[in-house]
Structures are given as C-alpha cells and as structure tokens.
Homo-oligomer: A and B are copies of this chain.
C-alpha cells in the first residue's frame, strides 16, 4: 500500500528557507511589538525605493542597520527573530547616509536575490513584498482615508471607517505542458532575448489551481489539458506573488497562440532543456532562483 508521504518531497525552490521565526505572538501584542524594537540586538534591512542595501563585500550580503540609522517615521515591518532570538526588521528609508558612513550599495531587488544565498533571498522576499504593499496602500480601499501601519507591519488600519487591511499575495500558476516526450516553453513579449520559460498566469477568483492551469494553457496556447499535478511553490516578491508550479498533460501538440501573451512557443525535448539549464542551449532557461527553472529541471530529470 502507498502511504501519503511515499511521493517525492517537493524540490527546494528559490527565495525560500528563511532562517527567521516570524514570531506571530510578538506582532499580535502591541507592547511586545514596540519593546522588540528597542532591543540592542535589533537590526533593520533597508530598502530604498524597494531596492535593498547590500554590503560592499566581494560577495555581498544583506546590510543590517541599527535602529539609530533608521528615520523615526520610516515604514517599518517586523520580519522575525533569528535562531539566536535577535529581532529583524525591514524599513523603507533612504540609504545615501548609510552608504556614505558604512559603504555598501543599493541593488535592484531581483539582481540582489540572485546574488544571495537562498535563505537570505527569502528574507529579502518577505521584506520587499511587505514594503511594496505598504507603499501602494497608504489609503483605505473602502473609504479613501489615509491608513496607518499596524500589527508590526502585517496590517493597515483605517481610523475613518475602521476597516482593517492585510498584505496581499497573488497566487500565480506556472506550468509546464507536457505532450509525449516534449514540454512547452514560451516567450512573453518583453522577455530578454532568447529566454524561454514555462507559461504562467494569475489565478482568478472562483477557480482552483488545477482549473487555473487548464484555463491559462487554453487561453495562451490553445491547449486542452487532461491532467494537472502540483510540483512545488515559491514566493515571488515582484511585487508579491505565490508561484504555484505544476505539470499539465496536453491532449494534443497543436498550438494556437495568444500573441498578446506569448510571442513564441515551442515544444522542446529533455536534451534541449538540459542544455538550456546548463547554459549551452540555443535558448536560455530562467535562472535557478525562478521556479520555472525548478519545473524544467524536474521534468528533464524525470522519466
């Protein structure tokens, strides 16, 4: 008999593995949330215009600033506790003075995530998603009044209509359609030259993951799907998605592309995918940080 856990574990995905304990009990207790900011071992990750400040090391790391480095009115979110119990935060603040004093550099968040070890990239993902959400939600969507940050950065409250708003995470399905010995990769308009990836799209209200996968493959490529299987997931903080990676069995190989969504799509072999993942193909695969890479690798290495 097959047990529930006899299937393989989901592969490790990029932007996961944060070492921080999110310590929800601190966020929920307003006095604890204030007290933790005053701890001598509290540190802040600084994002200036959503770009993280990294150290100036040859192999850059996240730069952790002291509380005194952070303007008092900067939007600040509690990220969690390190394994040693030290509080970690992120703040949206100008980095020029810090760079002048300590060195370091601002990097595009996506470039930074690619440079960092996975668990550090996961901290950056958490920080950037939350601060990007605060930056776009200064007003109440219900009544229009200004809102205030609450719950250590995990909510905003409206004092006018008493609405409470929570950070949003948008589920996105990303899927590799498979037909016999081929998988489908495509190019969205605006992709870098030669890059092909798995197809993807936002899950919509009133559908589940498998329905969203089938709908997106039909809309974008004219494919009818007979089976869908979940592989793995990852947070994608540009600005705040949950990428849900699946395989889908295609009924036939004929394609009808929606050229608004895909400028090109092609069925590729395992050998082609392995070459692309290794950087030696005639097209480029997404980097290891992206779950599309994980999805392509899992397919290429499966039977």
Q: Which residues of A contact B (CB under 8 A)?
A: 1-5, 7, 9-10, 13, 15-16, 18, 22, 24-25, 28, 122-123, 125-127, 129-130, 133, 136-146, 154, 163, 165-171, 178, 202-211, 215, 219, 227-230, 232-235, 237, 240, 242, 244, 247, 249, 258, 260, 299, 302-303
Is B139 in contact with A205, judged by CB distance below 8 angstroms? no
In the complex, the 7 A-B pairs of residues with the closest C-beta atoms, listed nearest first? A126-B206, A129-B205, A1-B303, A139-B144, A144-B144, A125-B206, A208-B233
Alpha-carbon separation in the docked complex, A178 to B206 (Å):
29
Is B229 in contact with A208, judged by CB distance below 8 angstroms? no
Is B203 in contact with A242, judged by CB distance below 8 angstroms? yes
Contacts of A28 in B (CB 8 A): 260
Copies of this chain in the oligomer: 2
Alpha-carbon separation in the docked complex, A10 to B229 (Å):
8
Contacts of A146 in B (CB 8 A): 144
Return the contact of A16 from the options B9, B127, B140, B207 (Cβ within 8 A): B207
Return the contact of A210 from the options B1, B233, B240 (Cβ within 8 A): B233
Contacts of A229 in B (CB 8 A): 4-5, 7
Alpha-carbon separation in the docked complex, A22 to B9 (Å):
34
Is A209 in contact with B139, judged by CB distance below 8 angstroms? no
How close is A127's CB to chain B, nearest CB, in angstroms? 7
Closest Cβ neighbor of A176 among chain B residues: B4
Contacts of A211 in B (CB 8 A): 16, 18
How close is A300's CB to chain B, nearest CB, in angstroms? 11
